Structure 1
Amino acid sequence: MDEDVKYWVKRAIDLHSGDAKIIKLAFHEKFTSRIGDIAFECFRSPRKEARILDLVAGHGNFMQGFAVEDEKGNVVRVLDLIHGRPLSKYIEGLNVGHRTYFTEQFPGILEQFMACIRAIAFLHEHGEKHGDIRRDHIFIDREDHRYRWIDFDFNFRHRENIYAYDLFGLGNILLFLAGKGDVLLHDLRDQQSSLLDVLQEEDLNIVFHNRVANLKKIYSYIPESLNRVCMHFAKGANWYYESATQLHHDLEVFKNEWQT
């Protein structure tokens, strides 16, 4: 990303085919992330990304590539270039109101995102996790319009559900897509919105406390079945999703109800 320059990521040309490639050199870092009161120790693992590249070879919802070791034993990944842009940039560039977006464009976007959720479920079924699920880590391939996950090199240590960090990442993307962007408290304050009077602490995102998760309080026409899914990622949630398959199932229920 232009605003997040990674000096260990290089562009290259395959001298045999002439195709553009991305080369990711070995780089290690650690940081701590929190979801509510749960702390996750995160770290970058080139070897994990190499394993996943091998696992998802030929899978249409993941970036493609392979890994090699250099003479020092560092794992270097050689990636096919995805000609497209991040999902986040696409959503932010849509110049329509929320209701028009939600009625006309969100159904197709949700269908593609649900394919991405199934792809994450595929990783989990094989004992792997993405590790850094964000809306700018889904690229829309302009050649076939397919949504593709990128950047699998983050890993994290866990105590209970090893996939929890991925699941909350999926929830944050869902809220972003359903809201046509983040619904931020400071924007509502700047607008002196009367909606602030109906929002409570339990309506806010469990990870990012300045974002609204209870979108139905903002957009009353959002179906209750979708809002129930969104509320699993709110501070007032009674329980959280334990698998990507559960999340996908509930979105499938919403989609089928909405289409009838």
Structure 2
Amino acid sequence: MAPSARELLTRLAPDFPARHVGELYDDTTEFMRIGYGDVMVLGERHFLVLRDEAERRFGMEDPKYWVKRCRCLETGGRNIVKLVFHENFPMTIGSMVVTCTRSPRKETRILDLVRGDPRFMQGETIYDAADNPVRILDLVAGKRLDEKIEALEMPHRDYFHDLFPTVLERFIEACQAIKWLHDRNEKHGDVRRDHLYVLHDSGQYCWIDFDYTFDFQESPFGLDLFGLGNIIQFLVGMGQHTTQSISPALRAQITSDDCSIMFPNRIVNLQKLFPYIPLEMTNVLRRFSLAAEVYYDTAGELIDDLCRARQALGRNGI
């Protein structure tokens, strides 16, 4: 007879409060039922659930009930455990519609592909008793890039001259990691600024979360590229700039052509706010604007233009 959760925790985690001991699950299909104090049986290991994970976006907490912060009872290590949750939804980019789908098996494939590559989060997939592909992820020893940028307390000019060249170099390396996936006919699927971390030990940028895929008829990898565009806008601007956040005097100079094709209130022609941004960088940003007539087809094209922008920073003595 399999041990109960109470027996397991008494033996492997005697410090855990007895009053919070839950149930034992080897089938994780009903993930909403699994919570704090429950134990998941995955292969030869047992994972004590500590809490549901959540994403903080637009100033709000978005709970992810299928993603659990856990402690492995055998090793004592902490892991993120992602259970199976399927969803799909349309995304509109200008006049184009992209169908996005959450695919646990696609994320399993990517985790196998990037094993040992520090540019990507690491983990493995174990199938539960109901054959659900449960992804057991290592915690990323780093901090979100956007949070590090937002925490800076300095004028934009100083940031752009002193820090941004290094930020850009590392972001180019992160773009090369996405190109590496594309060259193998794979997509990240959910390229966002909160999915890019800075590793504490090396300063290298590391991508997380690969469980989305998308069907974009106009461009096989287009959604990844637009995601990279959103991030570079944020990095160049040292944060997000919208038509609502700027002064009335500056707002009078902004037209719809200066704004993002994905988020029409976000300003991408940042040279109008910061005139010292070189033309080479402005040309990159405007490829993601409502005025753009040509978009990037490949990550390689974007990387080439970003490298030219980096060289322009050097020519300007930055």
Instruction: Report TM bin, short chain.
Output: over 0.9
Q: Which has the higher strand share?
A: 2
Residue of structure 2 equivalent to 1:240: 295
Residue of structure 1 equivalent to 2:18: none
Contact 2:116–2:122 under 8 Å retained in 1: yes
Residue of structure 2 equivalent to 1:109: 167
Query: Structure 1, residues 177-207: CA drift from partner, whole Å, max 9, x if none?
Result: 000111110112xx32x12222121111111
Q: 2:277 aligns with which of 219, 222, 228?
A: 222
Report how far residue 15 of structure 1 moved.
Answer: 4.0
Structure of greater Rg: 2
SS in 2 for 1:61: coil
Residue of structure 2 equivalent to 1:63: 121
Report how far residue 80 of structure 1 moved.
Answer: 0.7
Residue of structure 1 equivalent to 2:313: 258
For structure 1, which segment, 44-53 or 150-159, has the greater mean C-alpha deviation from structure 2 after superposition? 150-159
Query: Structure 1, residues 140-175: CA drift from partner, whole Å, max 9, x if none?
Result: 122322211001001112213110011000000000
Q: CA RMSD in A?
A: 1.2
1:170 pairs with 2:228: yes
Report how far residue 176 of structure 1 moved.
Answer: 0.5
SS in 2 for 1:110: helix
The aligned amino acid for 1:86 is: R
Q: 1:208 aligns with which of 260, 263, 267?
A: 263
Residue of structure 1 equivalent to 2:14: none
Task: Please give the alpha-carbon distance, in whole angstroms, between the structure 2 residues aligned to 1:145 and 1:61.
Answer: 11
Map 1:29-44 onto structure 2 (within 5 A): 29-44=87-102
Task: Please give the alpha-carbon distance, in whole angstroms, between the structure 2 residues aligned to 1:7 and 1:51.
Answer: 22
Residue of structure 1 equivalent to 2:138: 80
Map 1:92-241 onto structure 2 (within 5 A): 92-188=150-246, 191-192=247-248, 194-241=249-296
Contact 2:229–2:285 under 8 Å retained in 1: yes
Query: Structure 1, residues 52-85: CA drift from partner, whole Å, max 9, x if none?
Result: 0011111121001111211211111011101222
For structure 1, which segment, 208-217 or 83-92, has the greater mean C-alpha deviation from structure 2 after superposition? 83-92
Task: Please give the alpha-carbon distance, in whole angstroms, between the structure 2 residues aligned to 1:160 and 1:258.
Answer: 33
SS in 1 for 2:224: helix
Task: Please give the alpha-carbon distance, in whole angstroms, between the structure 2 residues aligned to 1:240 and 1:100.
Answer: 31
Structure 2 gaps of 5+ residues are 1-54
Percent identity, aligned pairs only, is 44
Contact 2:143–2:199 under 8 Å retained in 1: yes
Residue of structure 2 equivalent to 1:25: 83
SS in 2 for 1:10: strand
SS in 1 for 2:218: coil
Task: Please give the alpha-carbon distance, in whole angstroms, between the structure 1 residues aligned to 2:271 and 2:304.
Answer: 20
Task: Please give the alpha-carbon distance, in whole angstroms, between the structure 1 residues aligned to 2:312 and 2:239.
Answer: 24
Query: Structure 1, residues 85-141: CA drift from partner, whole Å, max 9, x if none?
Result: 211111111111110111111111111111110000011001110111100001112
**Which of structures 1 and 2 has the larger relative contact order (alpha carbons within 8 angstroms, sep 6+)?**
1
Task: Please give the alpha-carbon distance, in whole angstroms, between the structure 1 residues aligned to 2:140 and 2:62.
Answer: 18
Contact 2:165–2:313 under 8 Å retained in 1: no
Residue of structure 1 equivalent to 2:304: 249
Runs of 4+ in 1 over 4 A off after TM superposition: none
1:89 pairs with 2:147: yes
Structure 1 gaps of 5+ residues are none
Task: Please give the alpha-carbon distance, in whole angstroms, between the structure 2 residues aligned to 1:143 and 1:9.
Answer: 26
The TM-score normalised by the length of structure 1 is: 0.95
SS in 2 for 1:76: strand
